[in-house]
Amino acid sequence: MNIKGIQFDSEFSFKTSRSGGAGGQNVNKVSTKVELDFDVVNSSLLTEEQKAIILNKLTNKISKDGILQIISQTERNQLGNKEIAIRKFYELMHKCFVVQKKRRPTKPSKGSKERRLDSKKRDSETKKSRKKDW
């Protein structure tokens, strides 16, 4: 499943609002908080299989209407927050489609088994030597 090369920018919609945090009086009068909305369900760029994977893996970030919402308000200007929101979106998409390697179970080596038993014997001897016979 590959998502590289797809430009989603045409399907983004942005909302801006005033954000909290640092900024002094600027916070009260400038809309710097950016909300990026991406309609996963109605996207023409994604296949049905890709939509299913996104809906499954990002259930906490997707609304009931199938809209993925990413919010950024760390920067003090709108353009910076917009760039961060877009970067977050592409990182999420990349993480969604990374296939994890299947774990192959391994067995302890002969040497590691011997070392473990030797250390157990040494500990046992140490404890025996501390004991006094009455």
The C-alpha atoms of residue 124 and residue 118 are separated, in whole angstroms, by 10
CATH of the domain spanning 9-96: 3.30.160.20
Is the CB of residue 77 less than 8 Å from the CB of residue 31? no
- What is the structure's pLDDT at 83? 92
- What is the structure's pLDDT at 23? 63
The pair of three-digit structure tokens given for residue 20, joined into one six-digit string: 């909290």
- What is the structure's pLDDT at 1? 46
| pTM of this prediction exceeds 0.75 | no
The C-alpha atoms of residue 7 and residue 1 are separated, in whole angstroms, by 16
Ramachandran assignment for 27, one of left (phi > 0), alpha (psi -120 to 50 degrees), beta (any other): alpha
Distance in Å from the first CA to the final CA of the chain: 73
The C-alpha atoms of residue 73 and residue 35 are separated, in whole angstroms, by 9
Taking the domains of the chain in order of start, what are their residue ranges? 9-96
Which segments in the chain show pLDDT lower than 70? 1-6, 21-24, 26-27, 134
